[in-house]
Amino acid sequence: MLTRKRFKAGLGIKAAAAVSALLLAVTACSQGSTTKQPDSGGSQSAGPAHIKIAYQQWGPGTVMKQFLTGVKSEYESAHPGSQVEIVPIVASENDYYTKLQLMMRSPNTAPDIVYEDTFLINSDITAGYLKPLDDYIKGWEDWNQFEETAKGAAKGADGKTYGIPDGTDTRALWYNKQIFAKAGLPADWQPKNWDDVLAAARTIKQKVPGVTPFNIYSGKPMGEASAMQGFEMLLYGTKDTLYNYDQKKWVVGSQGFKDALNFIKTVYTEGIGPSPKEALDPNMGSRVGSELLPGGKLGIALDGSWLYNNWLKTGPKPWPAWSETLGQTAMPTQDGGGKGKISLSGGWTWAIPAKSKSPDAAWDFIKTLQTQKNATKYATDGAQIAVRKDVASDTSYKESSKSTQFFTDLVSVTVYRPALPEYPKVSNEIITAMEAVMTGQSSPDDAAKNYDQAVEGIVGGKDKTTTQSTGQ
C-alpha cells in the first residue's frame, strides 16, 4: 500500500537523534549466524541464527504484526535454536525509507530481512544495499507460482531479482453512499472524467456540511502516497507520462503535468478537499481509514485496494458495515479518453540487505513467509491483490471481501511507476510541486517549470529528457 521522502539534505537534530537511537538498539541485539552456501530452495539450509526483520508499522500495525508473529513461531519451531526478532519502524513513509537505508549501510546495523517498496529497489541496488536472490530462487519450486509482472517488479536493471513480492495493489475512488444519498448523488456512481469527480465533491460541500468532500493525498508528509496515489493517478489519466521508454528519457514540459497540478489547485482553493493543514498531517493516511471514512466525515477518497483491512475484525477499526456503506468506482481519465479509467499499481517485497550477517537463514525465513498457506493468509488479512497463482485461485481469498474482484479487475488498466534509480528523486520533486500549489506558494505553471529544471539536474542534463510522452 500503496506506497512511497527519502533523499533529504539533512535529518535535523531531533530526527538524527531518533535514528541514532534506533541504530544503537538494532546494533545491541545484532548476532552472527551459522551459514553455508545458498541451498537453491531447500527447507533448512542455515544453522541456528538470530534474524532481524525490519518493516514499516502504520499506526497499530495489527495485521502485519500478527502475521509476522505467527510466522516467527512457525519458523522458530522448525529451526531449533534460531531466534527471530521483529523490528517495527513506526514512521511515515519518508522517514521509514530514510531510517531503513541508514540501517542497511553497515553490517553492524543491517537487518537480515527488510520490507522493500518495489519503487526503491533500483535505487537501493545502486547504493549497494540489497543482495541478489537468484542463487536462492533457482531451486525454489514456489517461484513458478508468481505472476511474471510481480517478478518483474522485483528485478533490478541488471536483470537479477532482489525481492520476493507479497502482493500488489490498485487504486480507485472509495465513496460513502450515505453521504451521496444526502447530497442527491447516485448510489451507483460512475464518473466519466475529472469534471464529474469535482462536480460530485462540490455538491457534497454544498449539501452535506461538516464533511470533507474529497481527499487526494498531496504534499511532503504523505511522501510517495502523494506522488503515486495522488499525482500520478491524475497524470497517467492525461495523454502524458513521466518517462518515455522508447527514447529512454524523462518527460518534461508536459501539459498533462500542468493539468494534474491544476486539478490539485482546484481541490484546495475551492475547499472541496481537506485543509492544507490536515492534508500535511503525516497521519492523514491512517486517519482516512481509521477515522474519516468510518466516522462518516469523508465523501470520496482516492485510495488503495488495501484500505478495507482497517475495518476487518483483525484491523485497527473494525467496521462490519463498511461493504454496505462504501462504494468503489474507477478513477476516470481526464476527459474519458484512452481506456476511460486509470489505476496505479505498486507492491512490496521481502528483500535481504547486502550486509546481512545471516542471509541463508533470512532466505529460509522468507520461504516460510511465502508458503501458499502463509501467502494466502496475508493476502486475505492484509487486503492484498494476490501475486501467486495458487493464492489467486484460493476460495478463501476470492471470497475474503466484496471489493476483491473490483480491485483485481483494475489490473487491466493499471500503470507502474518507472522502476529506475532516478525515480525516488524525481518523485520527491513531484511532491514538492504539489505542495507548492496546494499551499498557494506557486502557480501550477511555475511549479511545473521548477519540476522540469530539477528533473534535468537529477537525470544528468537536457539530453536525458524529452517533451514527447509515450502516451497511454
**All structural domains of the chain with their residue ranges:** 13-168+347-400, 171-345
**13-168+347-400 carries CATH number 3.40.190.10:** yes
pTM here is 0.80
Q: Using an 8 Å Cβ cutoff, are 133 and 116 in contact?
A: no
Strands (E), 160-278: 164-167, 171-176, 212-215, 243-244, 249-251
Phi, psi (rounded to 5 degrees) for 383 = 55, 45
Per-residue pLDDT of the chain (472 residues; tens, 9 = 90+): 434 333 333 334 334 433 344 433 433 343 333 334 444 444 445 578 999 999 998 666 678 999 999 999 999 999 999 999 999 998 877 789 899 999 999 999 999 999 999 988 999 999 999 999 999 999 899 999 999 888 988 999 899 999 999 989 999 999 999 999 999 999 999 999 999 999 999 999 999 999 999 999 999 999 999 999 999 999 999 999 999 999 999 999 999 999 999 999 999 999 999 999 999 998 999 899 999 999 999 999 999 999 998 898 878 899 999 999 999 999 999 999 999 999 999 889 999 999 999 999 999 999 999 999 999 999 988 888 999 999 999 998 888 888 988 998 898 899 989 989 999 999 999 999 999 999 999 999 999 999 999 999 999 999 999 999 974 4
Are the folds of 13-168+347-400 and 171-345 the same? yes
- For β-strands 171-176 and 298-304, DSSP reports them as antiparallel
Looking at domain 171-345, its CATH class is alpha beta
All residues at 6 or more sequence positions from 349 whose CB lies less than 8 Å from its CB, including other chains = 115, 116, 118, 121, 153, 154, 162, 163, 164, 165, 166
**DSSP per position, 259-321:** HHHHHHHHHHHTT-S--HHHHT-TTHHHHIIIIITTTT-EEEEEEEGGGGGGSSTTSSS--TT
The arrangement of strands across the sheet holding 212-215 comes to 212-215, 298-304, 171-176, 326-329
Cell numbers of 355, please?
A: 550486509
Angle at 183 between CA 178 and CA 189, to 5 degrees: 70
Name the one residue in this structure whose C-alpha cell is 476470492: 398
Query: Three-state DSSP class for 236?
Result: coil
Name the one residue in this structure whose C-alpha cell is 532481524: 52
Cell numbers of 72, please?
A: 516467527
| Total Cβ atoms within 10 A of residue 373 | 11
Question: How far apart are the C-alpha atoms of 310 and 314, rounded to whole Å?
Answer: 8
| Total Cβ atoms within 10 A of residue 245 | 9
Question: How far apart are the C-alpha atoms of 237 and 150, rounded to whole Å?
Answer: 23
